[in-house]
Structure 1
Amino acid sequence: MVTGIALVNVERKMLRQATEELLKLNGVTEVYTVAGEYDLVVMIRVNSNAELADVVTTKMTKDIPGIVRTRTMISLQADAKVDLCQFYNSKNYTQNQIFV
C-alpha cells in the first residue's frame, strides 16, 4: 500500500464542497480540516505510486472545484496501533466510515 499525505489549499467558500468531493474519490480515506498554512490534510491510500499520482494530479486538482494548491508527501513507513493494510482492505471498512 502507498500512503500519500496531501496538504491542500481551498477557496474558503468551497471548503465544505471540496471536502465532500474529496471523500468520494477512490483512495481517499480521511480528510481533516486544519488551521495553519493549509486548509485540509487528505490521507490517500492506494496500491501504487501511479494511482497516487492520478488521484493528486487529475482527480483532486482538475476535477474538484475550489482546490487552489496541493503539496503531497509519500509515507516511507507507518507505525500504528492497528494493521493499516489489513484495516483498509477489510470488508468491514467503508469509504465513508467516520473515525472517533
Structure 2
Amino acid sequence: MVTFIILFNIEKRLINTVAEQLVDIEGISEVYSVSGNFDLVAIARVRSNDELANLVTEELLPIEGITKTQTMLAFKAYSRHDLDAMFAI
C-alpha cells in the first residue's frame, strides 16, 4: 500500500462540493478542510504509483474548482493512535 498526501487549492465557492466529490473517489480515504496555504488535504492509499497516476489524471482532473494540487509521498507512518489501538485490551 502506498500513501500519498494531496494538498488542494480550490475555488472558495466550491470547497464543500469538491470535498464531497473527493471523498467518493476510490483510493481517497480521508479529506480534511484546513487552514493555511491550502483549502483541502486528502489522504490517498493505493496499491501502486500507477494507481495514483490514474487517480490524479482520470479522477481529479475533471473536478471543477481545483486550481492547484501538490502531492507528497508518505515514506513512513508515525501515529500514537495506531500504537494505542494495538496495546488496548
Structure 2 gap ranges (5+): 84-89
Distance 1:7 1:57 in 2: 15
1:44 corresponds in structure 2 to: 44
Distance 2:57 2:37 in 1: 20
User: What are the Cα deviations for residues 25-67 of structure 1, in whole angstroms up to 9, with x where unaligned?
Assistant: 000000010111110111000100111111123311x221111
Greater fraction of residues in helix: 2
Backbone CA RMSD of aligned residues: 1.3
- TM-score w.r.t. the length of structure 2 is 0.85
Alignment pair present for 1:24 and 2:5: no
Shift of 1:79: 2.2
Size of the alignment, in residue pairs?
82
2:86 corresponds in structure 1 to: none
1:65 corresponds in structure 2 to: 64
2:8 corresponds in structure 1 to: 8
Distance 2:63 2:21 in 1: 7
**Which of structure 1's runs of 4+ aligned residues deviate more than 4 A?**
none
Structure 1 gap ranges (5+): 84-100
